[in-house]
Amino acid sequence: MDSTTLLFFVVPLLLGFVFNAVKFMRFIGYLTGGRKRTVGGQSPTEVLSFDERVAERLRDLERERSRGPSNF
């Protein structure tokens, strides 16, 4: 093969294969929840354990109930 054939046919095929493989792996990572594991952008309530979140939610409900009926 001469260099022109490599330049116009083989290199684009190899690049296309590599880029599609990378896109596929990112898609599989998205499906398995890979982006959910990042800690940087979490809110403070997401760091709490399940018991702490339940207790916080119960405190919120108790506060709402103690305010009395709302006028909707």
H helix count then E strand count, the chain: 4, 0
Taking the complete model, does pTM exceed 0.85, yes or no?
A: no
Residue 6 is predicted with a pLDDT of 81
Q: Are 45 and 56 in contact, with CB atoms under 8 Å apart? A: yes
What tokens appear for 66 in the block? 């103690």
For the segment 11-62, what is each residue's pLDDT rounded down to a tens digit?
A: 999 999 999 999 999 999 888 877 665 555 556 656 778 888 899 999 999 9
Residue 5 is predicted with a pLDDT of 83
Tokens 């940087």 belong to residue: 40
Residue 47 is predicted with a pLDDT of 75
Residue 17 is predicted with a pLDDT of 96
CA dihedral in degrees (18, 21, 23, 29; nearest 10)? -140
